[in-house]
Structure 1
Amino acid sequence: MRAKDGHMQVLLTHVVPHVGQPGDLVKVRPGFARNYLLPQGLATFATPQNLRIIEKHRQRLRELEEARRADLVNLAAQLAQRSITIEANANAEGHLYGSVNADQIAAALRTEQFPIDSDNVKIEGPLKELGLYTIKLNLGQDVTTEIKLWVVPTHTEESA
């Protein structure tokens, strides 16, 4: 389809740098479309049938995205009601002989069957004291939640 300004509209089927993403309806010069985009399979003509196919595909992607977001909101609600406990070696004053970091928090959540990666755990820095902490989790798609984390001393058998 040719526009009045000498450009033609094509429907991109692949990412084309500086032009657009798959599914985008773009105006390009006829030579660029005829000599590069169409022969390389990077675009198709913007026919009504192709536009309907792309719109159905976009709708399916939106539905999948909404379902994924609903799953994340459900996961956030489950996590908000949980608290986890991590044992760590500490001295008598409550200072840890190391620290608790995002990897350990994510691993503790995974042992409770929550699909959390260390990138989802947002802490200011390693935790170096015993106590109760509120940990923020960013689950993606602007879904965040908080969990309670107890850092407790490891139980060791001491002889009296």
Structure 2
Amino acid sequence: MAKLILTHEVSGLGEAGDIVEVKDGYARNFLMPRGLATPWTKGGQKQIDQIRKARKAREIASVEEARSARDSLQSKPVVVAVRAGAGGRLFGSVTTGEIADAVKAAGGPSVDKRKIEVGNPIKSLGEHRVQVRLHPEVQANVTVQVVEA
């Protein structure tokens, strides 16, 4: 088992700044090459404190703020304009970064693209559902309307 400090949020494992124990292969072959984690050391506590401080600055502070942001996001669909080919098929897929930009352009809160979870890749025009984690206790189900640019 390897003891690591997460530098980014990993779905199902933890958030940035968390200390986790994972199997050696998962750490060596997935987490560390992608820059999602670093080995745990005694001097790493300073790094953990910096990560947590940065995360707090980005995060929505209270549950009430997160709930109001959720209500505003769920009230209207977010429109993403992309290039499409014949039959409404996209050239590629809609990324979480594009969705985050569209949320901000629609007047919604600034959302980190890593907090957006897309079940199946969005590769066609129309309405799609995505989940946005605004706070550890609050999630928003957002309708993304993909239109041709």
Higher relative contact order (CA 8 A, sep 6+): 2
- Counterparts of 1:98 and 1:86 in 2: how far apart (Å)? 14
In structure 2, which of residues 105, 129, 132 is the aligned counterpart of residue 134 of structure 1?
129
| Structure 1 residue 84, shift from structure 2 partner | 1.2
Structure 1 equivalent of residue 112 of structure 2: 117
Partner residue, 2:87: 93
Alignment match, 1:103: 97
User: Aligned equivalents of 2:124 and 2:106: distance in 1?
Assistant: 23
The Cα shift of 1:99 comes to 1.2
Question: Which amino acid in the other structure matches residue 134 of structure 1?
Answer: R
Cα displacement string for residues 30-70 of structure 1 (whole angstroms, at most 9, x for unaligned residues): xxxxxxxxxxxxxxxxxxxxxxxxxxxxxxxxxxxxx7111
Question: 2 CA distance for matches of 1:69 and 1:141?
Answer: 9
Q: Post-superposition shift, 1:125?
A: 4.4
| Equivalent residue number for residue 55 of structure 2 | none
Largest Rg, 1 or 2: 1
- Tell me, what secondary structure is at the counterpart of 2:130? strand
Q: Are 1:83 and 2:77 matched, yes or no?
A: yes
**Are the equivalent residues in 1 in contact too, given 2:116–2:130 (CA < 8 A)?**
yes
Q: How many residues align?
A: 88
- Whether contact under 8 Å (1:98, 1:128) holds in the other structure is yes
CA contact (8 A) 2:125 2:148 kept: yes
Mind listing any 5+ residue stretches in structure 1 that lack a counterpart? 1-66, 155-160
Counterparts of 1:93 and 1:141, CA distance in 2: 39
Q: Where in structure 2 are there 5+ consecutive unaligned residues?
A: 1-60
Q: Deviations over 1:91-139 (max 9, x none)?
A: 1211101210111100111223422110121102431111110111111
| Structure-2 residue corresponding to 1:69 | 63
TM-score, normalization by structure 1: 0.51
Say yes or no: does 1:146 pair with 2:141: yes
Greater than 4 Å deviation, 4+ residue runs: none
TM-score where L is the length of structure 2: 0.55
Letter in 2 for 1:139: L
Percent identical: 24
Aligned partners of 2:106 and 2:144: how far apart in 1? 14
